[in-house]
Structures are given as C-alpha cells and as structure tokens.
Structure 1
Amino acid sequence: MRLALWQGYSPAGDRDAALLQAEAALASAGALGAQALVMPETWLPGYNQDISPNNALSADDPVFTRLGRAAASADCALILGYAERDGDHIYNAAICLGPDGEPLAHYRKIQLFGPRERALYRAGDAYVTFPLGAETVALLICYDVEFSSHISSLRAKGVTAIFAPTANMTPFEHVSRATVPAMAANHGVSIVYANYCGSEGDLDYQGHSVIVGPHGEVLAQAGPTPALLIADLPARRPAYISSQNADLRVIE
C-alpha cells in the first residue's frame, strides 16, 4: 500500500488556505499513486488558534463535501484533523474521507495533551478501525500514539496501520525520531505521523513527520520545512514482527 502525508505551515485560521493546501496535496499524492494522505492535527482551523464554536466544525459541515470531491478526484483517501463542534462540546477530531469521497471513519482524541487541550476539548472515549486497501487502519491523534496500551489494544483488534495527525512542537523531537518507530516495531504496525512545521503563535513545531513500517523501519522522514512524503509499506515479514504481546509474562 502506498501512503502519503503532508507536512506544512499552519493555516492559522485561514480556511480557504487550509482547503487549498489539502486539495493540492491530495492531487499530488493521487498522481503519485498514494491510496491515502494524512494531514496534521486540527488542520481546520489550525492547532494553536482560539478554538470556539465559531470556528469549530460539525461532522457534516460542507467543507467535508468539498474535500470529499477532491479525494474522489485524486482517488486517494484523506485523513484530516479538525476541531469538531457537537452540541455544547468541542472535540479534537479526525475524519477519513474514502477514495470515493464518502466519509469512512471519524475519531475523537482520547489523550488530551496539557492544560490547554483539556480546557478546550472533551476527550474521546472510543477507538475506530476500518479496512482501507490491504490494511486494517485505526486513527489516533498526536499524544495518543505515545501510549503503548492504545497501540497494543489496536493491534489486538487486528489493526495493521495507524494514521496519526499531530501537532508536535519543540522540545519533543524524540517522539518522531524514537517513540513512533519504537511503537511500530514493538507492536508490528505501520504508523503515518503527520506534523506541522514552522511557528504558530508561541509554538514552534518540530516538523520531522514520519512514515514507519511494521518492523520499525523509517520509510520516509521530513525535515523542518513543508514536505509531501510518499512511501510504500513493505510486505510484512512474520519472523520480524514483534511477538512481545503474546510473550509477555505478567509479574504481580
């Protein structure tokens, strides 16, 4: 399966700019044969924005119809983070629009990071898994992917690939360089980790988005500037897939 991610500067509340970047990235990814493209966390309206009901989107907002048309035109699924408004609550959410443009999956971030996120958002309480191409996919968002128990639970559900929109800032460079590859290797799952780069308000994003294979191999990694990454997931080699979940001895 060929996968892509877009690492870019935050649209910083400019919805038209956000949609144009997503559409351009989709067109390029589709032209290069990618079956799915992952965008950063809360791409709409941008991560470090004053999130409110005024700029949060409902899951059926017309922008997703527009993005669905772009996904269908590119024949490439789109995974995009956004601030979701649902009644009186706001969630840090991600949506997957399938290669036919139709909604395929919806997820709400479980592990909210720091006091700002906990003040803005209500935490999600459920995993989502779905088939895409030859993979069984789950969505996680940023901090979620750093919790081994979540990765282990998803692998137990048959998940083979995790798509993770993120907004990882300095000084947490170790996450993309060490934590994500280790999670992939330890649990035998591929991970697509799509980050911002540049600055947004008082945050400096570290970039270094990464696509990691199921044996922990780094298939593609960005630097600190905008990038479209494309990588083919390798064939799973059973002898190289970690068996630690089955082998674990629980010590009381």
Structure 2
Amino acid sequence: MKNLLILAVGWFVLSSGVRADQSVPDGWTAESPRREIRPDFTWDPSGGPDQGSLIIRADHRAGLMGSWTRTIPVQGNHHYRFSVDRKTEGVALPRRTGVARMVWLDASGGKPKHAEPSDLSYRPGERPRAEPELPKLVSTRDGWDRIEGVYLSPPNATQVRLELHFRWGEPHSSVRWTVPKMEVTQAPAPRTVRLATVHFQPRDGKTAKQKREQFATLIADAAGQRADLIVLPETLTFYGSGGSYADAAEPIPGPSSDYFAKLAMQHDTYIVAGLIERDGHLIYNVAVLLGPDGNIVGKYRKVTLPRGEIEGGVTPGDQYPVFETRFGKVGMMVCYDGFFPEVARELSNRGAEVIAWPVWGCNPLLASARACENHVYLISSTYMDFSDNWAQSAIYAKDGTTLAHAENWGSVCVAEVDLGKPLHWPSLGDFQAEIQAHRPVVDPIP
C-alpha cells in the first residue's frame, strides 16, 4: 500500500459534460435510491477549481436524490485524510443537500467494528460497528467548500466506499464535486484540555470588589491543577449584595472584567466570569471570557430571561458568539438558557466544542441533555448545594455523563478531556459529525 492513495485518475478530455453512462473518472458510478427520484449525473472534465467535477443536477422537480460512489482498498488500523471540494448552485442548505460520506467495509462487504469499546454502549465493553463517517466543512474559497477529516480505519477494514451525495434538492439546483483524495497520514495529536469549575457562594461583602476578590484563591487552586479553562458562577458581583441588578452592573471592559483578566494572565489560563454589564441605559446578564494574554476574548449576553430578570429591567441578548482559544472553540450560555435547547444548539452550530455555563440553579438533567444532544463538553458553575440534588458544579462529557463534580463549598473540580477524540455510539457512529447533515429545517415562528 502506498502512502498516498489519490483517487484523481485519468479521464478523457471532452469539450462538455458527459452522461453518467459515458466516460467518467475510473471506478465512479451514479446511484439513486429510487429511479423516480433519480437526478441527472454528468462529468465535466474542466469544471473544477484545478480538475474536473462530478455533477449531480435536479430537473424541474423537487426532492431528487442520488450520489456518485466509488469503492477503493484500504488497510485496517491506519489513519486516512479524506478531502474533497464542493460547489452548489440553487441549493438553500448545502449542509443537508451536498453531503460526503465514507463507509468502511470488510472483505465480505459488511461493516467492520471499531478497535476500542464505545465510550457509551448499551452493552458495556462491546466494540461498536463502524457507521458512516461524515467529513466536515473546513473552509470556503472562490465558491468552493473544502470538506475533509482524518479517520482511523477499523482493524478489519479492507475497503471504503466513498459517496458524494445530492439530497432533496430544489428544482434546477446542482452540486459539483471534485474527485476526492484519500491519503494515509499520521495519527492526529491529542487535543487534551483540562476543564475546571468553581463551586462557591460569595456570601461576604456587599461591593463588587469584595465579591470578586473571594474567587482569587479558588482560581489559583484550579490553575495549580493545570486548568486550561476555569468557569465561575453567574452574576457573581450581585450574589448576596442586597442591591438590584442595576446596582451591580458595570461596563465591560470595566473593574471586574479587568480584575479577572489580570488573574487569567497571572495564571496563564482562560477564565469565564458571570457578571452584569451596563451598556448605556441597558443592562445585560453576561458571561465574559478572559484570556491568558490579559484581554477579553469575548462576551455573551444571556438570551433567555426568567421572570425575576425581566421584572428587574434586564435586557436579553440576541447573539450566539463562539470564540477561538488556544485549545479549541468555546461558547457560553447563562443559567436559564439551559432550560431551552436552542441556545446550546446555536452555539454548537457555530462550532462550539466546549460550552461554559455559569448558572444559579437548574435541573441537572438539562445539563446532561445540552451536552448529549450536541456532543459537546459542558462546564457548569452553580450556587446550589450538592445535597439539594439540583444543579451541580460539574463537567459533563459529550454523552451527557458527569466526568467530575464538586460537592463542597469553596472547592474546585477538574476533568481532562481530548477534544479531538470522537464518540462512537451503537447504530449512530459519530453522532456529532452527523448533526449538521441531519438536523431539521425549522421555519421561524413569528
């Protein structure tokens, strides 16, 4: 087996696109689940960014489906990099219509099993069957989307079927695919990160300065455990102050965000602090991400407000920002946001791998659900006593299980995770990779 399997093979130079039953790149065939929904398949030898393109096009009818497919040999227990370019025309949702898949097969043409037991299995210790891999969109240039991913082939895999799909297209829409590449590559380096939560009620003092300074030793404790991201609770300068939301509100940047930014730089880590922001005549419940360079990486304004905040004159936010850090992409939400699936979903739609969640109190089942349904890591920092069996200060895994939790006030818990390690489920495979292709289309409700 050569170290490089290039699928771009010779083809006939033609002056225009050709039908699927004429000359196309070697080994590629056109398929459709049913003849009556079969789209049109053509090959354009000059229709790609630097080569030809495999085209699937709808006629005047909606909902047509088909795919270009090819099966090639592979070796088991090898890492492969898949890459392909895609261009759509007249397609409303390329994430659903233009989908690339890889299906591992054994010598008999069946699905092999993964090398390791699933992290979550209905039968503990069982090796899950290898389900289709869905490479992700990584960049766009000149109208072409680059879709790629690195995958470990199952031990007894001998071949892989490559599929370039056109699904449920609009009338006269089309998807162009370049000829994909499969390259043997090195195993990706682990993306290890240490996530920490602080379990503390700042009961003493009345001022913002007195409240925030109570977290210094806890941040130092977490940093001493090599935490890369430390999450503090919600509205921490307001808690137990006896004042109103407006009394605790500050500009951002401002004294409290500056204080935590200095601690982040001192300990070479990231800190998420729950504060109340004043912006002119408006106030917001916010989570602020401070970086190891001592600057504000970004802030998130709480989108869903409970009765008390509405009655207290707080304004909701309307954005779902996700921020790049040196270890991965971080999103934030605040307390009541966790009662609704939309907030965490919008963050994961934008690439969040970790969601920091300062939260006063919440049903812990909702924390598990938000992590599980998006296959992200979630860190909650709460004001609830552990014995209440309510919200926990905890780190949740992609499957919604609790990796670590804090039981005592004034304590810190830390969990080490690998952001690059996929979670394979029985019958679903890497569900996180499937979310964008499978999640529904939702019309806005007035």
The offset of 1:206, in angstroms, is: 4.8
Q: Summarize deviations over 1:121-152 as a string: whole Å, max 9, x none.
A: 11111111111233211110011122212222
Q: Is structure 2 residue 327 aligned with structure 1 residue 134?
A: yes
Q: Summarize deviations over 1:165-205 as a string: whole Å, max 9, x none.
A: 0101xxx5xx22x111122111111100110146xxxxx99
User: What pairs with 1:193-232 in structure 2 (closer than 5 Å)?
Assistant: 193-197=380-384, 206=390, 208-223=392-407, 225-232=409-416
Mapped partners of 1:2, 1:110: distance in 2: 28
Residues 51 and 116 from structure 1, CA distance in 2 versus in 1: closer, same or farther, beyond 3 angstroms?
A: same
Q: Summarize deviations over 1:212-246 as a string: whole Å, max 9, x none.
A: 12222311112363321111124532424434564
Match for 1:186 among 367, 370, 373?
A: 373
Mapped partners of 2:301, 2:273: distance in 1: 12
More divergent stretch after superposition (225-234 vs 157-166): 225-234
The offset of 1:118, in angstroms, is: 0.7
User: What pairs with 1:19-168 in structure 2 (closer than 5 Å)?
Assistant: 19-46=212-239, 49-113=242-306, 115-120=307-312, 121-168=314-361
> Between Structure 1 and Structure 2, how many residues are aligned?
240
Residues 186 and 152 from structure 1, CA distance in 2 versus in 1: closer, same or farther, beyond 3 angstroms?
A: same
Mapped partners of 1:109, 1:149: distance in 2: 13
User: Greater share of helix residues, 1 or 2?
Assistant: 1
Structure 1: segments with no counterpart, 5+ residues: 199-203
Could you tell me the percent identity over the aligned residues? 25
What secondary structure is seen at the aligned counterpart in 1 of 2:337? helix
Counterpart position of 2:424: 239
Residues 154 and 37 from structure 1, CA distance in 2 versus in 1: closer, same or farther, beyond 3 angstroms?
A: same
Q: Which structure has the larger Rg?
A: 2
Residues 84 and 205 from structure 1, CA distance in 2 versus in 1: closer, same or farther, beyond 3 angstroms?
A: farther
Mapped partners of 1:137, 1:152: distance in 2: 13
TM-score relative to the length of structure 2: 0.50
Q: Summarize deviations over 1:95-144 as a string: whole Å, max 9, x none.
A: 1110121111111100011x211122111111111112332111100111
Structure 2: segments with no counterpart, 5+ residues: 1-192
What secondary structure is seen at the aligned counterpart in 2 of 1:233? strand
Residues 150 and 54 from structure 1, CA distance in 2 versus in 1: closer, same or farther, beyond 3 angstroms?
A: closer
Q: Summarize deviations over 1:35-81 as a string: whole Å, max 9, x none.
A: 11100000012277432543311112233223222111111111101
Q: Summarize deviations over 1:16-40 as a string: whole Å, max 9, x none.
A: 4422222112211111110111000
